[in-house]
Structure 1
Amino acid sequence: MKRLLSLATLATLISAATIAQARDLGPDEALRLRDAGTIKSFEQLNDAALAQHPGGRIEETELEDEYGRYIYKIELRDAQNVQWDLELDASTGEILKNHQDD
């Protein structure tokens, strides 16, 4: 029983540590990172996402710090009205994820 409780406690701690590693960045911090050249401009990141889906329109964006890596998340609708979720490395502009939303 003690072993089971210890495993459950360990799983909870690992889960909490994982959640704590990703955080949303506010507009002021995002602009500071952009101005410092740490991340690409939002226009460049948006253009890279739209290049994947010509004729699309961006519906929502957010910048997160995930494990020390800045990730720019974009939800967009393509010309056929299909919704897509994209993730880009905000420092390099590399497309990390590009999949149709369920």
Structure 2
Amino acid sequence: MKTLTALFAATAITLTAGLAQADVRPDHIEGLLKSGAVMPFEKLNAAALAKHAGASITDTELDHKNGVLVYEVDLTDTAGKKFEVKLDAKTGAVLEDKQDT
């Protein structure tokens, strides 16, 4: 019985963690933009590019992370270095800026 309880608890924790960091469904994005919950993507992209002059965007993603909408931007600079910039999707504030290895 203890094994079954432990297995159930581990499964519940794993599912909860997945929901806490789930991608926003594409059909919800327009409503988030209209409501102001998400800043226009052009402004978010510009904020990410401002961190790495001359870089280009290779990928973007909008996620829920711990109750916050986070806009993730993958960049590659002219030297081929890759970066990931995470922004608060509502305010545009930079939450994280790191070089990918």
Query: How high is the TM-score relative to the length of structure 2?
Result: 0.86
CA distance in 1, matches of 2:9, 2:50: 44
Task: Give the aligned residue type for 1:26.
Answer: R
Tell whether 2:15 aligns with 1:16.
yes
Q: How far off its partner does 1:96 sit?
A: 1.0
Tell whether 2:57 aligns with 1:96.
no
Residue pair 1:54, 1:79 contacting (<8 A) in 2 also: no
Segments of structure 1 that go 5 or more residues without pairing to the other structure are: none
Tell whether 2:75 aligns with 1:76.
yes
Residues 36/10 of structure 1: CA separation in 2 closer, same or farther (3 Å cut):
same
CA distance in 2, matches of 1:4, 1:14: 15
CA distance in 2, matches of 1:41, 1:21: 23
User: Within 5 Å, which residues of 2 pair with 1:1-102?
Assistant: 2-3=1-2, 5-102=4-101
Q: How far off its partner does 1:8 sit?
A: 4.1
Of the structure 1 ranges 30-39 and 90-99, higher mean CA displacement relative to structure 2 is found in 30-39
Root mean square deviation, CA, Å: 1.7
Percent identical: 35
Q: How far off its partner does 1:33 sit?
A: 1.1
Segments of structure 2 that go 5 or more residues without pairing to the other structure are: none
Q: How far off its partner does 1:4 sit?
A: 5.4
Aligned to 1:23, the other structure's residue is in SS state coil
Q: How far off its partner does 1:16 sit?
A: 1.4
CA distance in 1, matches of 2:13, 2:23: 20
Query: How high is the TM-score relative to the length of structure 1?
Result: 0.85
CA distance in 1, matches of 2:37, 2:28: 11
Q: 4+ residue stretches of structure 1 with deviation over 6 A? A: none
